[in-house]
């Protein structure tokens, strides 16, 4: 049995030759004058140049792209140091031009190469250039660089966006224990507070947050169930200002879908809320004022029927004294008094109805509307000797909130009556016209009570604007406008020319889904 050799394989040029031929790298041996002494199989295959054709040639005459000076320097340095010098694919791209035909790496025309210049034989001053294909690596590297650039750009955009969000959006983040973990600049500005003061504090801090116990419990409930909730909060700023927010509570989850807290987006409705409150107050005021006005109207209204009763009663007394009272007279008087009393109680009912909050839409004729509106004003109109005229189609119907419309028309007529009291004219006249226009009803109320100067006309709908020093609140027309526009979805305008004032009301024939105040 032959002994197995455990000795190092002896120096064998055949083996080296074989290995070098099958290696997946390019190998060139050069002398210190850059003359080619060896050109391996790999290079022959990739360049289609035969070794035999270029032995003894300088490498830069075979591959004219090579900068001889640089290569010379690297060769010299490697030989001098006794350690390799290099070309790197990332910087130099390639040394030996080898065309790439593969499609998947079509980004490059030539193979990217790392080249080591190895001091191969110091005695003879030979170097070996070891060329390795780095195309794939370079490709990946380039893609990576491109993607990193892209990521950075996106990141920058995101940061910018974050900044705008921070500045614009009212936002609070809280953890599961309701401690504030983040709060936007926009909200801090409203609260006039610093981030440091707010972070880690409890969101439900009663110093700042004014919400009812009931609402708080509701919020807790939704938090428990991790559901979205919309609610209104009032926060107190550091300067004591009330800030009204319409909040949306949204549960927040981290990347692995663990529940980590809540985000509360806020919409500042402070000013809207103020306007709303203001308006409600104004309407209330106007109602009280209107009630006072109505009482005086009722007084007017009752004077006549009461005097009827007085007369009847007085007649009865006289007749009884004269002893000429018979059953017939008594029955007659009785019926008269009864009728009058019915009339009186009807007025009171009207009055009461008017102040009842009637939120139901009703269909009624314009004739009926005007009859109801003028009923209480009739007495005064007669006393002042004002000619009242209606020019309407008695069949026109409207679906709307009746009481509000009555209030509006009374306000307008009352203004006309007030104006007549200020001047002395003959032919005092109030005329009302009403007509249909496709989906709308138009009501025109006109008087000849002197008109309104142009500079005043532009202000009559403003709240508290009045020319009636003591007697006017200046709310009448403001309330009219609010009712017509906000509640009845219509339009009201006033025009004045010569001595005439014309009020135009345009209303939808059928009002839908609107809730009156």
Partner 1 sequence: MIEINLSEDEKDVLQELMNVAYGNATAIVADMLDAFASLSIPNIKIMNIRELLNTFHSLKGDSYFFSTQAFVGEFSGECAFFIDNESANNLAIHLELDGEEDLNDAILELTNILTSTLTTRLAKEMNTQVQFALPSISKIPLNEMGSNNAFKQYSQVIVIDTQLNFHDQKINGEIFILTKDGSIKWLKNQLNDILKTII
Ligand X SMILES: Nc1ncnc2c1ncn2[C@@H]1O[C@H](COP(=O)(O)OP(=O)(O)OP(=O)(O)O)[C@@H](O)[C@H]1O
For Mg ion, the binding residues in 460-489 under the rule CB under 5 A are 476
For partner 1, the binding residues in 87-106 under the rule CB under 8 A are 87-88, 90-93
Q: Which of 70, 147, 152, 155 binds partner 1 (CB under 8 A)?
A: 70
CA dist., res. 153 & res. 147, Å (int): 10
| Minimum CB–partner distance for residue 122 and partner 1 (Å) | 14
Out of partner 1, ligand X, Mg ion, none, which partner does residue 97 contact, by CB within 5 to 8 A per kind?
none
Q: Which of 447, 448, 482, 490 binds ligand X (CB under 6 A)?
A: 447
Q: Which of 18, 50, 80, 317 binds partner 1 (CB under 8 A)?
A: 80
- 437 phi and psi angles, rounded to 5 deg: -145, 95
β-sheet bridge partners, residue 365: 397
Rank residues 86 and 222 by Cβ distance to partner 1 and give the closer one.
86
| Minimum CB–partner distance for residue 299 and Mg ion (Å) | 18
Contact between 233 and ligand X by CB under 6 A: the answer reads no
Give which of 140, 258, 235 is closest to 188, Cα–Cα: 235
Rank residues 472 and 508 by Cβ distance to Mg ion and give the closer one.
472
384, 419 contact by CB (below 8 A):
no
Out of ligand X, Mg ion, partner 1, none, which partner does residue 68 contact, by CB within 5 to 8 A per kind?
none
Strand order in the sheet with 209-210: 180-183, 170-175, 259-268, 242-253, 229-236, 209-210
For ligand X, the binding residues in 294-323 under the rule CB under 6 A are none
Taking CB under 8 A as the binding criterion, the range among 83-91, 228-236, 305-313, 462-470 that sits at the site for partner 1 is 83-91
Q: Which of 20, 467, 502, 516 binds ligand X (CB under 6 A)?
A: 467
Residue labelled with tokens 């008594």? 330
β-sheet bridge partners, residue 114: 132
Three-state SS letters, 36-80:
EEEECHHHHHHHCCCHHHHCCCEHHHHCCCCCHHHHHHHHHHHHH
Give which of 54, 56, 26 is closest to 41, Cα–Cα: 26
| Minimum CB–partner distance for residue 114 and partner 1 (Å) | 6
Rank residues 138 and 416 by Cβ distance to ligand X and give the closer one.
416
Taking CB under 8 A as the binding criterion, the range among 68-76, 396-404, 412-420, 448-456 that sits at the site for partner 1 is 68-76
CA dist., res. 355 & res. 283, Å (int): 12
The 8-class DSSP code of residue 237 comes to -
In angstroms, the Cα distances linking 141 to 112, 298, 417 are: 12, 94, 90
Q: Which is it for strands 491-497 and 180-183: parallel, antiparallel or unpaired?
A: unpaired
Rank residues 70 and 310 by Cβ distance to partner 1 and give the closer one.
70
- Three-class SS state of 20: helix
Taking CB under 8 A as the binding criterion, the range among 71-79, 240-248, 375-383, 476-484 that sits at the site for partner 1 is 71-79
Taking CB under 5 A as the binding criterion, the range among 68-76, 190-198, 321-329, 415-423 that sits at the site for Mg ion is 415-423
Q: Which of 15, 18, 45, 73 binds partner 1 (CB under 8 A)?
A: 73
| Minimum CB–partner distance for residue 24 and partner 1 (Å) | 17
Give which of 83, 92, 125 is closest to 111, Cα–Cα: 92
Rank residues 89 and 452 by Cβ distance to partner 1 and give the closer one.
89
Q: Which of 501, 505, 507, 511 binds ligand X (CB under 6 A)?
A: 501
For partner 1, the binding residues in 108-167 under the rule CB under 8 A are 114, 116
CA dist., res. 287 & res. 300, Å (int): 19
**Interacting residues of 367 by C-beta distance below 8 A, sequence separation 6+:** 390, 392, 394, 396
Other beta carbons less than 10 A from residue 493's beta carbon: 12
Out of partner 1, ligand X, Mg ion, none, which partner does residue 468 contact, by CB within 5 to 8 A per kind?
ligand X
Q: CA 350 from chain center: how many Å?
A: 45
CA dist., res. 484 & res. 517, Å (int): 12
For ligand X, the binding residues in 364-423 under the rule CB under 6 A are 411, 415-416, 419
Out of partner 1, Mg ion, ligand X, none, which partner does residue 465 contact, by CB within 5 to 8 A per kind?
ligand X
Q: Which residues are at the interface with ligand X (CB under 6 A)?
A: 289, 411, 415-416, 419, 447, 449-450, 452, 456, 460, 465-468, 472-478, 501
Q: Which residues are at the interface with Mg ion (CB under 5 A)?
A: 415, 476
Q: Which residues are at the interface with partner 1 (CB under 8 A)?
A: 67, 70, 73-74, 76-77, 80-88, 90-93, 114, 116
């Amino acid at each position: 049995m032959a002994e197995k050799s455990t000795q190092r394989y002896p120096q064998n040029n055949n083996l080296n030759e074989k290995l070098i031929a099958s290696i997946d790298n390019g190998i060139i041996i050069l002398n210190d004058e850059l003359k080619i002494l060896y050109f391996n199989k790999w290079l022959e295959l990739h360049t289609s140049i035969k070794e035999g054709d270029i032995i003894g040639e300088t490498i830069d005459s075979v591959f004219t792209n090579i900068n001889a000076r640089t290569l010379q320097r690297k060769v010299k340095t490697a030989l001098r140091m006794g350690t390799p010098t290099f070309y790197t694919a990332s910087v130099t791209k390639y040394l030996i031009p080898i065309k790439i035909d593969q499609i998947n790496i079509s980004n490059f025309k030539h193979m990217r190469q790392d080249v080591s210049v190895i001091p191969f034989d110091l005695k003879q001053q030979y170097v070996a250039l070891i060329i390795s294909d780095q195309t794939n690596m370079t490709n990946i590297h380039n893609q990576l660089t491109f993607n990193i650039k892209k990521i950075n750009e996106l990141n920058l955009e995101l940061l910018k966006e974050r900044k705008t969000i921070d500045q614009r959006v009212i936002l609070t983040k809280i953890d599961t224990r309701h401690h504030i973990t983040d709060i936007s600049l926009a909200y801090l500005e409203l609260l006039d507070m610093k981030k440091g003061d707010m972070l880690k504090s409890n969101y439900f801090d009663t110093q700042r947050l004014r919400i009812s116990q009931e609402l708080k419990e509701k919020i807790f409930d939704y938090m428990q169930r991790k559901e979205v909730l919309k609610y209104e909060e009032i926060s107190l700023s550091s300067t004591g200002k009330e800030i009204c927010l319409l909040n949306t509570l949204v549960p927040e989850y981290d990347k692995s879908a663990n529940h980590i807290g809540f985000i509360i987006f806020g919409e500042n409705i402070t000013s809207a809320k103020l306007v709303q409150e203001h308006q409600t107050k104004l309407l209330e005021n106007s109602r009280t004022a209107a009630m006072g006005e109505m009482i005086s109207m009722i007084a007017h209204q009752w004077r006549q029927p009461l005097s009827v009763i007085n007369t009847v009663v007085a007649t009865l007394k006289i007749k009884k004294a004269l002893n000429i009272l018979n059953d017939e007279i008594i029955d007659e008087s009785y019926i008269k008094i009864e009728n009058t009393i019915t009339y009186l109680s009807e007025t009171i009912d009207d009055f009461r109805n008017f102040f009842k909050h009637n939120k139901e839409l009703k269909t009624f004729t314009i004739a009926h509307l005007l009859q109801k509106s003028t009923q209480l004003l009739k007495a005064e109109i007669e006393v002042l000797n004002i000619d009242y005229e209606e020019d309407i189609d008695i069949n026109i119907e409207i679906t709307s909130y009746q009481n509000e419309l009555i209030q509006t028309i009374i306000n307008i007529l009352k203004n006309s009556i007030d104006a007549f009291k200020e001047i002395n004219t003959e032919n005092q006249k109030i005329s009302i016209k009403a007509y249909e226009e496709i989906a709308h009803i138009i009501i025109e109320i006109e008087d000849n009570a002197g008109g309104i100067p142009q500079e005043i006309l532009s202000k009559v709908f403003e709240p508290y604007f009045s020319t009636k020093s003591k007697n006017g609140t200046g709310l009448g027309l403001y309330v009219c406008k609010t009712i017509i526009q906000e509640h009845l979805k219509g339009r009201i305008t006033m025009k004045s020319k010569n001595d005439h004032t014309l009020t135009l009301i345009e209303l939808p024939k059928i009002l839908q889904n609107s809730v009156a105040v």
